[in-house]
A and B are shown apart, each in its own frame.
Chain A
Amino acid sequence: ETGVTQTPRHLVMGMTNKKSLKCEQHLGHNAMYWYKQSAKKPLELMFVYSLEERVENNSVPSRFSPECPNSSHLFLHLHTLQPEDSALYLCASSQERREGWETQYFGPGTRLLVL
């Protein structure tokens, strides 16, 4: 399935590095999301973009900086991360309609390890 793609699939970085995660959706959706999932833990919603505007920021530390240049692309810029930030980062997209938010489709995720 190639509806939502994420790169890279795996990333190892040091605490002083700067890196970016990329997400692209090919479904014509108007909303995109970043989630964090630590090992054997539930999904944690980080950011929501609707029509390229950030509509939700769930108290995420400033070392995570999202960017949504258009409705098909979403980035997560990473800077001076901590080892506890190691997790699976999932991107999702959906179609927001006046009558409600529809099904979210997830990318395969980026598995991040911070050393």
Chain B
Amino acid sequence: RKEVEQDPGPFNVPEGATVAFNCTYSNSASQSFFWYRQDCRKEPKLLMSVYSSGNEDGRFTAQLNRASQYISLLIRDSKLSDSATYLCVVNSTNAGKSTFGDGTTLTVKP
């Protein structure tokens, strides 16, 4: 089993749709969590951190469920520019590293 698992997709949605991505992790001692976005042929860039209380940044909402060991990213009112691959990242001190998921690809169509 992978340490961090994501549904690879692809997710193809129309503009204006709401889409949700889930990510599960296996290390119960994981401490911090992030969502990154990677555009085609570009480097990954931090989208947002994920806090236990959940956090929102405009159309994006991230949630963490420690009991079930998963994090989620919700995108409301999808834009064409949201098309990208979304990477889930889990940091674990006992593992001494950050672990990236394989990514979920989103395509928003007109």
Contacts and interface: CB of A to CB of B under 8 A. Distances in A.
Interface of A: 42-43, 45, 48, 50, 55-56, 88, 90, 94, 98-109, 111
Interface of B: 31-32, 34, 41-46, 49, 87, 89, 91-93, 96-98, 100-103
Given A42-B103, A56-B97, A101-B97, A106 B34 contact: no
B97 A48 contact: yes
A43 B100 contact: yes
Contact of B43 (A55, A90, A94, A100): A90
A102 B32 contact: yes
10 contacts: A42-B100, A43-B87, A43-B100, A90-B44, A98-B93, A100-B31, A100-B93, A101-B96, A103-B49, A106-B45
Q: Is the interface of A mostly helix, strand, loop or mixed?
A: strand
Given A42-B101, A101-B91, A104-B89, 7 more contacts: A43-B44, A45-B97, A50-B96, A90-B44, A101-B92, A107-B43, A109-B43
Nearest to A111: B41
Contacts of A94: 98
A41 to B, nearest CB: 8
A93 to B, nearest CB: 12
Q: Which of B32, B43, B96, B102 has the most CB of A within 10 A?
A: B43
B43 to A, nearest CB: 4
B31 A99 contact: yes
A110 to B, nearest CB: 11
Given A100-B93, A101-B91, A103-B34, A108 B42 contact: yes
Contacts of B32: 100-102
Nearest to A91: B43
B43 A108 contact: yes
A55 B96 contact: yes
Contacts of A88: 41
B43 A106 contact: yes
Given A90-B43, A105-B46, A109-B43, A99 B100 contact: no
